[in-house]
Amino acid sequence: MQKPSSPFLASIFEYMVTRQYSHSSIEAYIYWIRYFIRFNQNQHPSEMGDMEVEHFLSFLANERQVAVKTQALALNALAFLYKDFLDNPLTLALNFQKSTKGRKLPTVMTPSEIRSLLAVLPAHLRLPAQLMYGSGLRLMEAMRLRVQDVDFDYLSLMVWNGKGGKHRRVTLAAELVPALREQIRQVEFYHQHDLAHPEYAGVWMPFALARKMPEAPRSLLWQFLFSARSLSRDPENGALRRHHIDPSSVQKAVKRAAFEAKIEKNVSCHTLRHSFATHLLGRGMDIRTVQEQLGHSDVKTTQIYTHVLQHGASGVRSPFSDL
């Protein structure tokens, strides 16, 4: 995550970092604030207000035809800018054109396509992909797993501070236990070498936990499950740490594997999560349980996967089948 070159955006970046916003939130908010400024010919936000925000949001709906959730994210970014950063909140009665573009049906792979994709993934990146499909994890939820988040006794994973800051416990396939134990042995090997390094400052800790548990950063249990192969400097304070692997390496590997496996679909890491949900529902799992596994606040979000099933052989029977 790079600090913006613009002094104004850099100050927003630093403000959000010091308040422990997630990297994805920082990147998204900076993107929309930058877009808003450029849309208004680089006018400073302190010289603008409700009217300019309304015009921008209407532009996104009318000209860009963005999805409802995309427009909502842009609004959240600008509401944060004016309320939290500039201390000049927008009115609650903003009048703008609401986006009506619905969410697309998610891309879902078949079980045989999943097997083909996993088979050609590089060995060191296969386990994160297996967990995204086997446990329905988002990419960053898999990357942020710590050693202690794996519960072998109850075959589950703990996801802390997922989307929306929510925590949840998700299922773990018993078939992945040997690979996970081997992964933890690899983390332990790295950790022993790190402890011997005179500059090693321990793993990065979320929020105020570093102050509450000063010994935790050097504990094996708190190390990232998918540790990077080398130590690096913390961009916030220059401390020497071992972070998790770069999520972009997993994204690229999944894309490449889909191509090599000749899967003619637009496959991404999130496709594995989509497939998890759709396959659970297809096996008769009730939608509330799937909602809990995915960490959705609203069951309506989970219902998108029932639409996938209903658009195929699991829903309407084609009259052609009776010919």
Question: Catalytic site residues?
Answer: 138, 163, 270, 273, 296, 305
Beta-bridge mates of residue 171: 156
Three-class secondary structure of residue 188 per DSSP: helix
Helix 287-294 and helix 269-282: axis angle, to 10°?
Answer: 160
Length in residues, the chain: 323
Displacement of CA 114 from its chain's centroid (Å): 20
Tokens 């002094």 belong to which residue?
A: 7
- Per DSSP bridges, beta strands 232-233 and 150-151 are unpaired
First and final CA of the chain: distance in angstroms?
58
Nearest to 276, CA basis, from 120, 106, 51, 160: 106
Residues 6+ apart with CB under 8 A from 74: 32, 35, 36, 56, 57, 60, 66
Integer-rounded Cα radius of gyration of the chain: 22
Three-class secondary structure of residue 53 per DSSP: helix
How far apart, in whole angstroms, are the C-alpha atoms of residue 147 and residue 261?
Answer: 31
| Cβ pair 169, 158 in contact under 8 A | yes
